[in-house]
Structure 1
Amino acid sequence: MSIEPPSGLNLPSMNERRSLRELITHELRAALVAGRLRPGIVYSAPTLASEFGVSATPVREAMLDLTKEGLVEVVRNKGFRIVGLTDQDLDDFTEIRGLIEIPATVRVAAEATAEQLEPLRPVAAEIVAAARSGDLIAYVEADRRFHLGLLAFTGNRHLVETVGDLRKRSRLYGLNQLAEAGRLVASAEEHEQLLDLMIARDLPGVEQAITRHLGHVRSLWAKPQD
């Protein structure tokens, strides 16, 4: 069993006292999705707490929340282990997202006005800025807000929640390597391109763009080379 390295996760210091459990759950989930918390490694609440600058209690509570989501599992007397995903899991996630998001995005493009869609442009810009700076947590968070923001225009909260849950369960294992190689920016810029096509109501172009983008997301989910 692998045991966590002592540091280097680059987790933010939690200075706010407001809803620490919720804040830490959010940050841990983002770190997990970005691939900074790795499968097969056992993370202890005290060690994670030292990086956040808080006591172990809210970190332990946050990890228990992630356990309920199926993202981590309890290792008795040791801590929490990240649940791994198989290639089949990743293929299944991509298929489900495609079945939901492709037609939903085309529908939004056909029905939403430019005035409704334009507020998402700063979010698309945040994704690109995060990719350029190598801030993977910010990248994942802005990407989540962009896609769920688009889907919210369907008016179907269950659809949004379903895609949000799929995103929580995914792992972008390749983000570090892509960021270091300078390849993450091209994927980030697809959000701005998609938004332009939607505002222009180029429905065939929107369908092609979201299909291509989800395919690239699957490549981001690929496990890194050892």
Structure 2
Amino acid sequence: MARLTTLNAISAQEHLRDRVANALRAALIAGDLRPGMIYSAPTLAAQFGVSATPVREAMLDLAREGLVEAVRNKGFRITELTEQDLDDFTELRAMIEVPTVGRITRMGRTEELKALRPLAEAIVAAAAEHDILGYLEADRRFHLELLALAGNRRLVEEVGNLRKRSRLFGLNRLSESGQLTASAEEHVQLLDLMIAGDVRGAEQRMLTHMSHVRSLWAEEDGDAEGEGERGAAAMPLTAAEC
């Protein structure tokens, strides 16, 4: 029984570590943790309401993904993405996702595609309601579940990793300006084209969507210059499991 209790404790700790890591990723993507800034594990732990240990472990996970880097005796610095980084991520994703969308469309998996409509609509609803965490979760699930229809688990994992390494800053400002809603609606349009069996149209819509997102990256990256540090307190740990 003692051993079982220990294993349960380890499992709970690992789960908390994953939750913290997901919350930090969400804060990075939403722009609540700024590139170039250094954050200490104890400070973030206080904001999340947890001990410093799972935060430190989660930060090490993010360091392996290239999202942060350890700074001796200070904490972790949020890595900065260059324009070349953004171009590289976009190109890699386009090389994978555009032809995969075309292949799935040719497969004629109409029922499976129709089953994704609630997710596509959830992305639009979250954008309209300025629900950033809801938007991020629905967007992640839609893209990865769509690609999963191709039947290649490794492909889905790779795209998931690329999505983690690239991030869109200032989603709150995009949401308020209406640009996020316009981008969200492209998911429904893509799904409609795929269900209709329009291979070329679906591939073009996917490419346009990714180009659109890349242009938003560029705009928000430029707008973010000169801003001061913002905390992660606005990212509740319980809600940021995306």
Given the two structures, how large is their TM-score scaled by the length of structure 2? 0.82
Match of 1:211 in 2: 207
| Alignment match of 1:137 (pick from 133, 147, 154) | 133
Aligned residues with identical type, % of pairs: 64
| Alignment match of 1:123 (pick from 119, 126, 129) | 119
Given the two structures, how large is their TM-score scaled by the length of structure 1? 0.88
User: Which residue identity lines up with residue 212 of structure 1 in the other structure?
Assistant: T
| Alignment match of 2:31 (pick from 35, 48, 54) | 35
The within-5 A match list for 1:22-171 is 22-171=18-167
| Alignment match of 1:224 (pick from 211, 222, 225) | 222
Structure possessing the higher radius of gyration over alpha carbons: 2
User: Which residue identity lines up with residue 222 of structure 2 in the other structure?
Assistant: P
Query: Is 1:188 matched with 2:184?
Result: yes
CA contact (8 A) 1:174 1:220 kept: no
Deviation at 1:202, TM superposition (A): 1.2
Runs of 4+ aligned residues of structure 1 deviating over 3 Å after TM superposition are: none
Deviation at 1:81, TM superposition (A): 0.7
CA contact (8 A) 2:120 2:138 kept: yes
Alpha-carbon distance in 2 for matches of 1:218, 1:132: 21
Deviations 1:80-132 (A, max 9, x none): 11111100010111111111111000111111422111221111122112211
C-alpha change, 1:133 and 1:17, in structure 2 (3 Å) is: farther
Deviation at 1:22, TM superposition (A): 0.8
- What SS does the corresponding residue of 1:19 show, helix, strand or coil? helix
Deviations 1:126-180 (A, max 9, x none): 2112211222222122111111111111111111111111100001024232112
Alpha-carbon distance in 1 for matches of 2:55, 2:179: 33
Task: Please state which structure has a larger fraction of its residues in helix.
Answer: 2
User: Which residue identity lines up with residue 46 of structure 1 in the other structure?
Assistant: P
User: Which residue identity lines up with residue 202 of structure 2 in the other structure?
Assistant: V
Alpha-carbon distance in 2 for matches of 1:197, 1:190: 11
CA contact (8 A) 1:31 1:137 kept: no
CA contact (8 A) 1:136 1:175 kept: yes
- Counting matched residue pairs gives 211
CA contact (8 A) 2:108 2:197 kept: no
C-alpha change, 1:70 and 1:17, in structure 2 (3 Å) is: closer
Deviation at 1:61, TM superposition (A): 0.9
Alpha-carbon distance in 2 for matches of 1:72, 1:112: 41
Question: Structure 2 stretches of 5 or more lacking a match?
Answer: 1-11, 226-242
